[in-house]
Amino acid sequence: MPKPVIYGIKNCDTMKKARAFLDHAGVAYDFHDYKTQGVSETKLKGWAKAVGWEKLLNRAGTTFRKLPEADRDGLTEAKAIALMRAQPSMIKRPVLETASGILVGFRPEDYEKVARSNA
């Protein structure tokens, strides 16, 4: 089974919590910093198909809130993916890819299931 991959931004507090949880649980994983490494349109489309673009787009973040109103209004999947591709900070963090699926955001109870399945 391939190692889980956690996507996010290195200095994000939520990312730090998620990575600390996985480390403490002894889960081996790869880390992909999409701020420095980017994220492909294909990857974003796959995530959007799996969980919905609305869940993937971080509307609460500063980057999204600073967008001009015209960019925030009338969002479609294509427009949201283009925004997230251009500014990865707009992707909700973390995104965790596992053999059983994708988790968006950090909830300890969900990560506990990942830890058990990767034990």
| Residues forming the active site | 12
CA dihedral 84, 56, 118, 22 (to 10 degrees): 70
CB 68 within 8 A of CB 14: no
Run of H or E including 8: strand 5-8
Run of H or E including 104: strand 101-104
Identify which of 16, 33, 15, 94 has the alpha carbon closest to the alpha carbon of residue 58: 94
